[in-house]
Chains A and B, each alone.
Chain A
Amino acid sequence: MNYTLSIDTSAGTSVSLHHNGRLVAEVEYLENMKHAERIGASIAEVLKGAGVEPKRISAVVVGRGPAPFTGLRIGIAAGMMFAEGSGAKLFGVVSLDAIAKAALEALAAQVSADRPLLVTADARRSEVYWALYSGLNEHGVPVRIDGPGVIKPAALEELLAARGIDPIRTQLPVAASQLTALFEAQLADGSASHDVTALYLREADATVPRDLREAGKKVSG
């Protein structure tokens, strides 16, 4: 009997609990803030809602983003620690892949390598995260043919036009239950991964101060 707890904080705060692939409880806040305030209570709520003790969870799946910084880390940190405490195995999935799987299941017939699925998500600072998919493989895992990347929308359009691609588009928010669906397909596929590294796709905002860069010059003796 396998329980899977999935956590995604790449946009809102989303937590779900599945039993052998069937959704038994979920909590979802679409609001793109208050992740640290909500994460603990959300996990407790899905467990309590289903009457499941932490030690019965066999897998914890976290969304790795891409996402802008602060919120993303909270879900990954929480997933990591829940796995430590419960003894569950820890897995990571790319949140955009989870969105793609849900979208491709609805659109599969229309999507191909020539007419791929474009998944985008808000990256703030007038940029979007993006990835392209040619469809689902035989186990139902989305086949990513480009991305994930971060780009200005205009630049993305130029890039697509230059490659002669007119994609089918989705920008659905990610739900934790979609992570589980992807994870189950990856297990069947053999591509499930323990990598839970956060995908920021941007360097930390930091510039070496001018006076420090020139420090060598300034101090002469």
Chain B
Amino acid sequence: MTGPAIRIATEADLENIMVLEHECFATDAWSRENMHFEIMAHHTTYAVIYEDDKLIAYAGLSKVPGSEQSDIQTIAVSPAARGRRLGKALMVHLIGEARKQHATEMFLEVRADNPVAQSLYLGLGFEHIDTRKNYYQPDGIDAWVMRLHFAKASVGREPIVLGIESSCDETGVGIVRGNTLLANVISSSMDEHARFGGVVPEIAARAHLEALQPTLREALRVANLSLQDIDAIAVTNGPGLGGALMVGIGAAKALAVSLDKPIFAVNHLVGHVGVDILERGKLETPTIALLVSGGHTSLLLVRDLLNDVELLGETIDDAAGEAFDKVARVLGLKYPGGPEIDRAAATGDPKAIRFPRGLTQPKDMEKHRYDFSFSGLKTAVARWVEVAEAKG
């Protein structure tokens, strides 16, 4: 079943709206002039539902730019169309609009003698916060003032997802609302690996267990949310270090069960590509992504981020960053090796030594068209150092 088609009102809807306005509010209808002004104003959003070219419901939202408050100004459903949840559909739509416009709360007034509307709003998460005496004239009916805090409500807003990442030496907890990043807290065990010249899987896994609880709590604090606000859990299920991944997976599963929320497995590489959405809103597809880090050197063809990501090629031996670390070790530089080599190379002579580049032979183009290789380069550096040392 699909919901009713809702669209934003234009000036052309004014006449139809006025007909319904008078039908629904016999004694206190707005004037045509007022309605015209409201529909056209920059700070309002009016939504309408038509059926067979006849307007059957409309509602108006007011949200002044810069303000965190929003107001439902009016809502009307044709008497003949009531009982079909059209009012709720309009409310959910306008709550979504208000959220998009960065409102954090919504207010409305409802007649004290309209329990049907009150229960609709209560069901959406509104609270009755005040009563205004004799607000509706000329009938002399009280108004309930109702308020909805968006962070606590579960309808009409973009989902809040908490992600747990533990594939290598960083324990990460991220929280997003739709495409908006709310928190990204990382605890790294990099220092513990430094004296070993690379990531030690068991040390990384132990560090994840210790970092889990504080990292989660910090992420919630930064996002100013509680776990009860979370709509879904996401977790990296690979690729990565097995023992490290399993800490995050066990944690995420238990968290999802405890909150009774869905859990989603995320491929770490696709997650890297997904970061682009947080930065630029929309990922243009198809796109090719190159991931380069201590653990990966991969080329991905992304036709659809959720359903269609193809691994075109990847390193057949060391990741680029791993090769940097190993070369740094051979040269007696610190871990992580990338920045150290970068620094040392800045003042070096690019033509001093001729090092090989992997997979550049014509025959490699057949079998490893989109692959990478760095171990030959690493070995060449090691041999060069050996020879240089032997010479003194």
Contact = CB atoms under 8 A, between A and B. Distances in A.
Real binding pair: yes
Interface of A: 35-36, 39-41, 43-44, 47, 53-54, 69-70, 73-86, 198, 200, 204-209, 211-212, 215-216, 218-219
29 contacts: A35-B250, A39-B254, A40-B254, A54-B260, A70-B205, A70-B242, A70-B243, A73-B208, A73-B246, A74-B246, A75-B250, A77-B208, A77-B251, A78-B253, A81-B254, A84-B213, A84-B216, A84-B258, A85-B254, A85-B257, A85-B258, A204-B200, A205-B200, A206-B196, A206-B200, A207-B196, A212-B195, A219-B331, A219-B332
Interface string B183-206: 000000000000111001011011
Interface of B: 195-197, 200, 202-203, 205-206, 208-209, 212-213, 216-217, 227, 242-243, 245-260, 263, 329-332, 385, 389
Contacts of A36: 245-246, 249-250, 253
B257 A54 contact: yes
Nearest to B259: A85
B202 A69 contact: yes
A135 to B, nearest CB: 33
B255 A209 contact: no
Contact of B258 (A74, A75, A86): A86
A80 B202 contact: no
A75 B249 CA distance: 11
Contacts of B213: 80, 84
B196 A73 contact: no
Contacts of A54: 257-260
A209 B250 contact: no
Nearest to A197: B210
B196 A44 contact: no
Top 9 closest pairs, chain A to chain B, by CB: A40-B253, A85-B258, A219-B332, A78-B254, A74-B250, A204-B202, A36-B246, A81-B255, A215-B332
B200 A215 contact: no
B252 A74 contact: no
Chain B interface, DSSP helix/strand/loop, else mixed = helix
A67 B242 CA distance: 17
B195 A77 contact: no
B259 A69 contact: no
Contacts of B253: 36, 39-41, 43, 78
Contacts of B227: 84-85
Contacts of A74: 246-247, 249-250
Nearest to B204: A204
Nearest to A9: B250
Nearest to A205: B202
Nearest to A90: B213
Contacts of A75: 250
Contacts of B252: 81
B392 to A, nearest CB: 10
A39 B250 contact: yes
Given A54-B260, A73-B209, A74-B246, 9 more contacts: A44-B257, A70-B242, A77-B254, A81-B251, A198-B206, A206-B202, A208-B195, A218-B385, A218-B389
Contact of B254 (A82, A207, A212, A216): A82
Nearest to A79: B254
A16 to B, nearest CB: 15
B209 A77 contact: yes
B168 to A, nearest CB: 15
A47 B213 CA distance: 23
B389 to A, nearest CB: 7
Contacts of B216: 81, 84
Given A47-B257, A69-B243, A70-B243, A206 B250 contact: no
A204 B216 CA distance: 25
